Chains A and B, each alone.
Chain A
């Protein structure tokens, strides 16, 4: 198929940036969206134009490094990562706009590449269980009911891609943060730090400039790992409880 691409080009963090239009030809259904961009880039290099910068690494939907707004949707029309989006989801002759994640907490570095280190700082604020290496008890000394283990797993699958933030009109990071709160909160190991964890993470989230959640649900709709919206309820509940406890 042949496609028209309108791609955001921005030379650096302080540059204005604008859309550029490119045509790509003979794109096959089996290509991933990023392979299609690879083809475009080879073409641009051939013409002596600088290729479009975009992030990716695993190209299997697990590292969370890729992430584009494709025709206004985070990761494009399917509920998956950008690297796992295949060209069979588009049709011949289509015009596709490609933009970076848009959120003030994720500044653009170049073209389609953004800085998501705010997510790391939220984890640094308390998204862990404190256990020094070598200090762990025998694994079977703490059984975990299967239901809790499964819920912990489901929420632990968040890949930190940031689609939730990009999709949210408030640019809230609550789904990402809620996923971590739920993951660790489901486990017996996570209980001792449960209160302090949620308070510090929420404070960090707000300090980074992410917006609050107003229950729009776009985050969960865009999440490639289908993190359920109710992790935000769990987050809010834990947060209220922790605040009360602090009084």
Chain B
């Protein structure tokens, strides 16, 4: 193996095969489906699949594989599958239906997504995503998902950040909830049919790999504390993203990296860990106690206008007293073609730039104002207050409940927050990880978004993966069965189980001084400061050092009370923070090695003269797939991962500098 680079990582063999088919791009998925082997219906019930996660990706996959007749075991950490984090998505879901005849098409959705991802996603995957997008809407409507409709009874659309066609389907500000309820109901139907077995309040803590193949998981029953072994012929991780490494984010409190990180430790490569999306329209932090940040749907940018005062002295004035000529509608000024609808990374960075310039608004947290106005005064004049209320009422109510201010009276205040992680387990075209038999779907995989995710495209990807892609690709894997039975006493199973019980025992025995949350907050602070909206060589090096010493302190000084054989929320959190402490370091290493800016990854050393992200296609047009490189759990001071590059080749879309001016 080659030498350590920058003392941090090694470079290994490039990735040879992504299993992407060849030929005209519009035929590839059809051909792949045809090439994939079939499983005879009577053999399906003899094949079993474990699916970790009941969000849009996992729920949809469980329902579909159940319908096909496979035996599915589904896991989630909440008390009901219906509560998966997907439920929180507000804005909408894209599909290339072209119901408005405004020039949309599969090709255009494909094009927008590749461009929006700053040319760091895989062409063939994105085309497939665009291709299946329309069937998602059909499926959801048939399930009874109450999308917004016009008076004529047909579906309504709106447009979302970064695109110029109206292709976003929505259900008021609760699209994620409605889509998830659809998938959940479809899955519960299969529970009744006997094909899906649901394990709620179960946390997966280890993957079982037998003879190089994923054959099961170890899970903890979060009520009784029992450590359970579940075996199957294939395992799917649909466990969501890892934005909570930042502690404060828009993610649900329980979102974690454990499922994917444990798989990574077992040999699954982790793709592009540093790609983090910072969402521009969140409610600003109000104080030190805060546990999470709340997103205000991006759809607000359709009608709201974003501004800050031109003069620093005006920042503490009532915004209504600042006359038009003293307001800087900076997005409209800098990006006249897209205005307030520029992509998220641009809107976020500009908001930060305004606040760094001393023109932020709202209360000071520390000695800094972190907020910009999102103003609906014009919209209310143009549309009437009632129409605004019909469109955004529930979001306005939510804002008022949290801040105590009414957006009908005073402009909203917003600030960027960590929202979505584009990185995740590396998967090939079949959504299979580098461990045979282990698949990853939804936000848990790295695949389709590139370095930036456009609005309304995650729900689309999760449902595409769950309803249409995975059921067709995993079939090919399952067709190579029947698989040899694995015994619960098999060495690999025992080893996985012991690893879990040892870790739990260790966490409970340290009995130090500091709570789990205090470590998590400190890690989050390091990540936001040095691996957040802007990253630099110096900052990242510093962060790596800080994370290593924090990890060392954690294993010496954490205090986890209670016992292993009861419901124990501190223990649950501790296990998650253990994994975040390792992931955080890998994210910094990835950010450090990628000496270019792209999408959500902004390296201060790589920018154009006017401060836009500057890509370096000659050197970085690849996916960074990391192989785990330390050999034991715990306070190992350094990770030494190995980098495998997957070259990104663009045959259908020309690589261009992204410009929204």
Interface positions of A (Cβ within 8 A of B): 11-13, 28-31, 34-35, 38-39, 42, 45-46, 48-51, 53, 55-65, 80, 84, 86, 88, 109-110, 113, 115-117, 119-120, 123-125, 127-140, 142-146, 149, 152-153, 156-157, 159-160, 183-184, 187, 189-190
B481 to A: closest C-beta gap in Å: 22
Stretch at the interface among B78-86, B307-315, B414-422: B78-86
B153 near A113: Cβ-Cβ < 8 Å? no
A63 near B83: Cβ-Cβ < 8 Å? yes
Contact of A149 among B146, B291, B515, B559 (CB under 8 A): B146
A143 near B139: Cβ-Cβ < 8 Å? no
Known contacts A57-B85, A128-B186: A133-B178 contact under CB 8 Å: no
Q: Is the interface of A mostly helix, strand, loop or mixed?
A: loop
Complex: A129 Cα to B402 Cα, angstroms: 36
- Which residues of B lie under 8 Å from residue A88 when comparing CB positions? 404
What's the count of A-B pairs with C-beta under 8 Å?
217
B144 near A152: Cβ-Cβ < 8 Å? yes
B223 near A109: Cβ-Cβ < 8 Å? yes
Not counting A48-B559, A63-B87, a sample of 14 additional A-B residue pairs whose C-beta atoms are within 8 angstroms of each other reads A45-B559, A46-B515, A53-B569, A63-B78, A63-B88, A64-B80, A117-B80, A120-B188, A124-B188, A129-B185, A133-B186, A136-B141, A139-B138, A143-B154
Known contacts A128-B189, A133-B63, A146-B153: A31-B289 contact under CB 8 Å: yes
Known contacts A152-B146, A184-B144: A127-B82 contact under CB 8 Å: no
B380 to A: closest C-beta gap in Å: 22
A62 near B144: Cβ-Cβ < 8 Å? no
Contact of A61 among B147, B200, B398, B562 (CB under 8 A): B398
Known contacts A30-B286, A35-B289, A117-B80: A58-B252 contact under CB 8 Å: yes
B191 near A124: Cβ-Cβ < 8 Å? yes
Known contacts A116-B79, A123-B188, A136-B135: A189-B144 contact under CB 8 Å: yes
A140 near B291: Cβ-Cβ < 8 Å? no
Contact of B143 among A30, A46, A61, A189 (CB under 8 A): A189
Known contacts A113-B567, A152-B144, A187-B146: A145-B78 contact under CB 8 Å: no
Complex: A139 Cα to B64 Cα, angstroms: 19
Complex: A48 Cα to B81 Cα, angstroms: 34
Complex: A51 Cα to B567 Cα, angstroms: 11
Known contacts A128-B188, A140-B154, A157-B177: A62-B289 contact under CB 8 Å: no
What are 29 residue pairs bridging A and B, where the CB atoms are less than 8 Å apart in the complex?
A11-B566, A28-B287, A30-B287, A31-B287, A38-B289, A39-B289, A45-B559, A53-B568, A57-B254, A58-B252, A63-B252, A64-B82, A109-B223, A110-B223, A113-B567, A116-B79, A123-B184, A129-B143, A131-B186, A133-B60, A133-B64, A133-B67, A134-B135, A136-B135, A136-B141, A139-B141, A140-B99, A142-B141, A189-B143
B177 near A57: Cβ-Cβ < 8 Å? no
Most chain B beta-carbon contacts within 10 A, residue among A39, A119, A128, A183? A128
B575 to A: closest C-beta gap in Å: 16
Complex: A63 Cα to B294 Cα, angstroms: 13
A128 near B143: Cβ-Cβ < 8 Å? yes
- Which residues of A lie under 8 Å from residue B291 when comparing CB positions? 34-35, 38, 59
B252 near A57: Cβ-Cβ < 8 Å? yes
Interface residues of B in 394-441 (CB under 8 A from A): 398, 401-402, 404
